[in-house]
Amino acid sequence: MNEQYKSLFTNYTFKRGVELKNRVMMAPMTNFASDEQGKVTDAELDYYRERSGGVGAVITAVAYVTRDGKGFQNEISADSDEMIQSLKRLADTIKGEGAKAILQIFHAGRMAPKEELVGDQPVSASDVAALRPGAITPRELTNSEVETIIQAFGGATRRAIEAGFDGVEIHGANTYLIQQFFSPHSNRRNDKWGGSVESRMTFPLAVIETVKETVATHAREPFIIGYRISPEEMENPGITMEDTLTFVDVLADQDLDYLHISVQDFWQGSIRDEEDKESRVTLISKRVGDKVPIIGVGLLKTPDEVKEALDSGVPFVSLGRELIMEPKWVEKVQAGRESEIKTTVTKNDQEKLVVPDVLWSAIMNTPGWFPVEE
């Protein structure tokens, strides 16, 4: 290994006692590879097996906690005990290659696509449609439904524990239901779940509390609890950086193992104010990084770029597209073979890269998403 990359390979023990062998994780990425019931498939397991040997932890594609919260075609389910054996296959596959296995859990809320709806409408904090073409106006959740969904996050966490996962990541980012409750665009409620920025924290904090209680009750081994957050929204009204800094001050006191900052580019500034160039990741890290570890992500392609991100004070990075294009990214850096890391794909690479069919089709047919060589 090149000595300059030594910082990538120091171990780390989270507050709950789970130890990671290095500072690089696999980012959660939708792979559209479970079956229609939400059970993992052999193709999905092959995809994870290929990428779980080098990283310290794999954060899975998101799993829905209730059926009306399904957000993607062929998404993983964690909504019933029938799924425990399926989830166990996934956890065993990841852990069998040497990485810790973290199940990301969520509810899509108003972002549930029409073809995956249980009824005619998605549900959300309020009956406000997302600002996207073809968006369906959601139905506002009742108080009892809100409580049921909160408990469903606990149920999904228990299933993750029983399946042998090393942790869960609560997906509070990327415009899904938890973020919808925090956002002044999607949450126009005037009950205890909405209103001021503090009141809009009530739902995410209740989810965190339920997950923590579930872990305390059911986990017999150390178990990670992480939380993913998007710093800002483009909408007006929408989540501002001021809102988020207020929120992370509270999140830092919730006994979480980490905060995962979801942005397109680790170094990008504000998406609301083009004059504000400071990295959202490092801004949050400076604010609360002394209380809770931060995971940064976004366009970190080379070992030098990952090292620069870690040198900024963030203890972890997660890699997404990089591990699809180069499943052995970490192993090659560790072996001093970083010059061999692939940074593009060709249309003939699917079998070699072990990528499921629907994900591969999306990669090939979404211009600009991946660098595809002819």
Q: Are 45 and 135 in contact (CB under 8 A)?
A: no
Does the annotation count 12 as an active-site position?
no
Q: How many domains does the chain have?
A: 1
What digits encode the pLDDT tens for the residues 121-132?
A: 999 999 999 999
The boundaries of the domain holding residue 143 are 3-373
**Low pLDDT (below 50) residues in the chain:** none
pLDDT reported for residue 1: 87
Which has the closest alpha carbon to 158: 76, 243, 78?
78
pLDDT reported for residue 362: 96
Catalytic, out of 48, 64, 176, 258: 176
CATH number at residue 111: 3.20.20.70
pLDDT reported for residue 146: 98
pLDDT reported for residue 14: 98
